[in-house]
Amino acid sequence: MRASSLVVCEHCDAVHERRRLAPRERALCVRCGAELYRAGGVDLYTMLALTLASLIVFVIANVYPIITLELQGVANRSTLWGAIHATWETGVGPVAVLAALTVFFFPLAQILMFGYVLFELLRGRAPRGFVDIMHALRLMRPWSMVEVFMLGTLVSVVKIAGLAQVTPEIGIFAFGVLTILLTTINSFDLRLLWDAHERVAADGAAAGLVA
């Protein structure tokens, strides 16, 4: 039996043999009843489309200002990087670094790695470093925290609103859309990518034998 046709329950470690499901069917663990996997969901093309959309929105969110603060006639606009730089300048370096990692680098790395893997698989090629990338994607999931940033910004805006005039800018709306897109990307069934990789690798091996 191929190892990839086995599924291990995340909750109780019971091992099951994987089988194809009818649409909307779910496979449950026979021992503890937890869900093992479900049929359907998005296909690889939809994943790639959502990933590319995320990349575009990510660029918009980072290039345009997030909010404008107006106090006694002086207006101050800030982008994400402006805010991170300002945080660094005020002496809370670790906070600035954490913000840069969780709101910028991890989400960007996720988007680029997903994009690369999906693009190669859909072209029928095995991506370089596939296994490492897949592990990195799994490890990075909890560290991509655009939604936390979004919530923090909204709370700050409400707090500052009494002191200064706050105007939301394009960046904050882009971050809102990005939050939804990244949540969708993070719900992708990584198993689909492993399956696609296995098919591509098998085709490649067959082609190698023929040549």
Tell whether residue 145 is a contact of Zn ion (CB under 5 A).
no
Q: Closest separation between CB of residue 35 and Zn ion, Å?
A: 9
For Zn ion, the closer of residues 25 and 43 by Cβ is 25
Two tokens at 99?
Answer: 């913000």
CA nearest to 2, candidates 208, 202, 190, 137: 202
- Figure out which of the listed residues 11, 125, 128, 159 binds Zn ion, where binding follows CB under 5 A: 11
Tell whether residue 49 is a contact of Zn ion (CB under 5 A).
no
Q: Closest separation between CB of residue 31 and Zn ion, Å?
A: 5
Q: How far apart are CA 1 and CA 59, in angstroms?
A: 45
Per DSSP, the residues of 60-107 read HHHHS-SEEEEETTEEEEE-HHHHHHHHHHTT-HHHHHHHIIIIIIHH
Tell whether residue 12 is a contact of Zn ion (CB under 5 A).
yes
Tell whether residue 131 is a contact of Zn ion (CB under 5 A).
no
Tell whether residue 9 is a contact of Zn ion (CB under 5 A).
yes
Tell whether residue 14 is a contact of Zn ion (CB under 5 A).
yes
For Zn ion, the closer of residues 11 and 128 by Cβ is 11
Tell whether residue 31 is a contact of Zn ion (CB under 5 A).
yes
Instruction: Decide: 171 and 66 in contact? Cβ < 8 Å.
Output: yes
Number of residues that bind Zn ion (CB under 5 A): 8
Q: How far apart are CA 193 and CA 179, in angstroms?
A: 23
Q: Closest separation between CB of residue 189 and Zn ion, Å?
A: 18
Tell whether residue 26 is a contact of Zn ion (CB under 5 A).
no
CA nearest to 144, candidates 94, 91, 194, 183: 183
Q: How many residues does the chain have?
A: 211
Candidates 11-19, 69-77, 94-102, 160-168: pick the segment binding Zn ion (CB under 5 A). 11-19
Tell whether residue 29 is a contact of Zn ion (CB under 5 A).
yes
For Zn ion, the closer of residues 14 and 126 by Cβ is 14
For Zn ion, the closer of residues 12 and 148 by Cβ is 12
Q: Residues near 111 by Cβ (< 8 Å), separated by ≥ 6?
A: 51, 54, 55, 58, 185
Q: Phi, psi (5° rounding) for residue 108?
A: -65, -45
Residues that bind Zn ion (CB under 5 A): 9, 11-12, 14, 29, 31-32, 34
